[in-house]
Structure 1
Amino acid sequence: MESSLYAFVEDFRGEGVDKVLDRVSAYGVGGVTIAAAYHQARDVTPHGSSRLTVRRDGVHFLPPEDVFGGLRLVPPMQEGAQDEPLAEIRRACTERGLKLRGWTVFLHNSAIGMTNLDVTVQNCFGDRGSPADLCPSHPDARLYAVALARSVARQGVDSVVAESLHFGTFAHGYHHERSFVPLGPMDTFLFGLCFCRHCMRRAVDLGVNGEVAREECGRIVAGVLGGDPPAQGEVTRAALTAYAGPEVVAYARARSESVTSLVAEVSDAVTAEGSKLTFVDATGALKGHADGLPSAGLAAHDAWQIGVDVVALGDLVPSFAVPAYARDAARVADDIGAYQRSIGKDRELRAVLRPGVPDSDSADRLAAKVRAARAAGAQAVDFHAYGLASLEVLDHIPAALA
């Protein structure tokens, strides 16, 4: 199964479609995973036409009127979307025999959240303080996600690669954040749980006392904000039960119903448009993003913290992409192996590696991680991302794949 290189429309616009795809082909990968719908970011782009690229929330195509007509939430358009850059890139990929996948950020969108705060996560104090995170339980957010999936599939992509199709985390709810209060991992987790009326109703339907869970979260977090010592140690179900009580754990686990049912709806919509869904579980990226040194718990085992039930999704989704953001090849193998055991060998499993720092400081280390991912069950190894890595680093890919 062919590997793919994640890339941005801005890469193609700045360097030229032919130039980028010539390099992609030379790297030995079989396709491009293009950011069809992305979020705000400021990126150092070492070989781009601009060396510091500011990205906005929005899509790189015209939102189809028959899909979004009548919906409250409609994605903003990126600059140049009217020129249909995805169509040009798709044609060029087809000419070279390259696959094109549509990388789609679903529920992480500050532009929509800031103007529709009621569809965003609501914490245990009633605050709408994470405007970038749309709640997977909110009916309007769900309709938006299905429509976005359908519209990306219509771009003629081989797969819709779904990022942020789950709950977000407290630590990444906006783009310029400050906290001068020491919050431990469990306090941060509790602070990030959503208690909007839609999440509360789903919990009650599953037999969980959401009000007790909300009160316990508020009591604990308020105590830490007031000077109580933060809890130490990783977030596990056992540790969280001891710290916050069984009702909080039950409430956190109940969130997976919202995510699982939404992913099922999105997958059906993508299939109806003639494509397939590749689900990205961001747990591995969250754990290793900063330094490539993820905490001990394997990503597949900690995915419940963002509402992802890996086993349940294994019955629904044909393809999974696992960001294995770690320096150590053995850790990459452990993470990939845990996902394969959870979803089964009949599902497509793709490992996503960063070819440069902080994960890979040499060509040998990258090659070792590619071998480890394959040995652990990954049918394809993808790389993130063309515009963010130097050309010297990208040149490590052919040998790693070989």
Structure 2
Amino acid sequence: MESSVLAFATDLIDEGADHFFGNLTDRAGVGGLTLASVYHEARDVFPHNPRRVVSYLEPGAAYFRPDPARWADQRLRPVPSGAIGADDPFRTAAEEARRRGMKLHAWTVFLHNDRLGFQYPDCAPANAFGDRARTELCPANPEVRQYVLTLVAEHARYGVDAIRAESLHFHGLRHGYHHERYFEQLGPVAEALLGLCFCEHCRSAAIRLGVPADEVQRAVRAEIRRCLDSEQAAAEATPLDRIADGALAAYVDASAATVGSLAAEAAGAAEQLGMRLTFMDADGPGKGWLSGVDLPALAKTVHRIETLGYAATPEQVREKVAAFALYGVDPSALAVILRPMSQDCDGPENLAAKLRVLDELGVPEVEFYNYGLMRLSSMDRIGAALAAL
């Protein structure tokens, strides 16, 4: 089973390459590093960082040096983080990984990008009223799709083995923003409907598939307004499969086709350049329909599906992985992320038992979240668990 640790480039910068990679090899004993190349805004606590304890990650920042020529004719382009200065931490990571015989993966957040969404709101999803979700980019937008493919190609010059594609899909209303406020209960239906995109590109894509997109948009607007006007209406909202005489389901299926085609194009571009593309599915099987995530279709076009194995017991991890088979995704097509911290693990035996479960099920890759966010004792826990396999 292949193993790696997810990490931020700021971990590498703050600790220095020798110390950083020494922890990965000598303490965690993993064979790979999954380094964030583009990441979203966050505030985190770093238990063992020598320079900071509480720190912020910039919105939509890149942690590599983009090739200016590659982006010359595009509005959407990655913006290097101020934390990297004149350096290119991805090049440092690539050189060190090669020297140590480790694999390098690029952990890339594609469409959850506050920086680009606010700068270019016409590329962000639009709800049924035309309000833009500026923390995201819309996967149906042609400029966004070109951004994705160019970003994939950028990683090839670093000798990246696989791109871990996070956020390569739509997002719901409550994906997260500072001081996000909901003082009235919207109800699950209104919340779901407010997360759907009705930009011109999404509507055109649906119409090409024979879906009456304008009719669906009008029906969605009316249902949201009804739920906003009355607590009772919000609590007793119209079931999704009855909105627009059932056409809403076809509209959401069209969104899944948009996501699927983009993922397929990205995986094809990666493969042509000698890389793999792993689609990161944070929700799990059966939960991503409104985000355009069709797991059986995606499993046929991307090189691997990655899921979160966050759970306290090995039995719960087994259940999470086994659930994919119900949706036509064999465990051999998965990569699983585990957390070795006390939130999920009470010791190395617990983590080792989870690894044995994954091995028994035929899962070929495991990753551990997250280098900078865990104590060094959790790194030791990884090493002990892997050694016990």
TM normalised by structure 1 equals 0.88
Deviations 1:303-332 (A, max 9, x none): 222111111112211122112233343332
Cα drift, residue 187 of structure 1: 2.4
Q: Any conservation in 1 of the 2:34–2:107 contact (CA below 8 Å)?
A: yes
Cα drift, residue 232 of structure 1: 6.8
Higher relative contact order (CA 8 A, sep 6+): 2
Q: Which amino acid aligns with 2:29?
A: G
Q: Any conservation in 2 of the 1:182–1:230 contact (CA below 8 Å)?
A: no
Q: Any conservation in 2 of the 1:136–1:142 contact (CA below 8 Å)?
A: yes
Task: Evaluate the alpha carbon distance shift between residue 65 and residue 223 of structure 1 in structure 2; reply closer, same or farther with a 3 A threshold.
Answer: same
1:39-118 residue pairs with structure 2 within 5 A?
39-48=40-49, 49-56=51-58, 57-79=60-82, 80=84, 82-118=86-122
Cα drift, residue 45 of structure 1: 1.0
Residue 289 (structure 1) aligns with = none
Cα drift, residue 199 of structure 1: 0.4
CA–CA distance in 1 between the matches of 2:289 and 2:235? 19
Q: Any conservation in 1 of the 2:47–2:373 contact (CA below 8 Å)?
A: yes
Residue 201 (structure 1) aligns with = 204
| Match for residue 135 of structure 1 among 113, 138, 148 | 138
Residue 126 (structure 1) aligns with = 130
Structure 2 residue 352 is the aligned partner of structure 1 residue 351 = no
Provide the identity percentage. 38
Deviations 1:12-46 (A, max 9, x none): 11112111211111312111100011111111111
Q: Any conservation in 2 of the 1:31–1:98 contact (CA below 8 Å)?
A: yes
CA–CA distance in 2 between the matches of 1:186 and 1:365? 39
1:2-401 residue pairs with structure 2 within 5 A?
2-25=2-25, 26-48=27-49, 49-56=51-58, 57-79=60-82, 80=84, 82-128=86-132, 130-172=133-175, 174-229=177-232, 240-242=240-242, 246-283=246-283, 299-340=284-325, 342=327, 344-345=329-330, 348-356=333-341, 358-401=343-386
CA–CA distance in 2 between the matches of 1:24 and 1:78? 24
CA–CA distance in 1 between the matches of 2:229 and 2:92? 56
Count of aligned positions: 383
Deviations 1:170-194 (A, max 9, x none): 1115344111121333322111000
Q: Which amino acid aligns with 2:366?
A: V
Cα drift, residue 81 of structure 1: 5.5
CA–CA distance in 2 between the matches of 1:357 and 1:209? 50
Q: Structure 2 stretches of 5 or more lacking a match? A: none
Q: Any conservation in 2 of the 1:6–1:33 contact (CA below 8 Å)?
A: yes
Task: Evaluate the alpha carbon distance shift between residue 351 and residue 340 of structure 1 in structure 2; reply closer, same or farther with a 3 A threshold.
Answer: farther
Q: Structure 1 stretches of 5 or more lacking a match? A: 284-298
CA–CA distance in 1 between the matches of 2:162 and 2:85? 20
- Is 49-58 or 135-144 further displaced after alignment? 49-58
- What RMSD, in angstroms, separates the aligned Cα atoms of the two structures? 2.4
Q: Any conservation in 1 of the 2:37–2:108 contact (CA below 8 Å)?
A: yes
Residue 292 (structure 1) aligns with = none
3-state SS, counterpart of residue 381 of structure 1: strand
CA–CA distance in 2 between the matches of 1:72 and 1:202? 22
CA–CA distance in 2 between the matches of 1:372 and 1:182? 41
Cα drift, residue 353 of structure 1: 1.4
CA–CA distance in 1 between the matches of 2:320 and 2:241? 25
Task: Evaluate the alpha carbon distance shift between residue 28 and residue 267 of structure 1 in structure 2; reply closer, same or farther with a 3 A threshold.
Answer: same
CA–CA distance in 2 between the matches of 1:355 and 1:230? 44
CA–CA distance in 1 between the matches of 2:136 and 2:332? 29
Q: Any conservation in 2 of the 1:363–1:396 contact (CA below 8 Å)?
A: yes
CA–CA distance in 2 between the matches of 1:338 and 1:66? 45
- Is 340-349 or 90-99 further displaced after alignment? 340-349
Q: Any conservation in 2 of the 1:37–1:60 contact (CA below 8 Å)?
A: yes
CA–CA distance in 2 between the matches of 1:13 and 1:151? 21
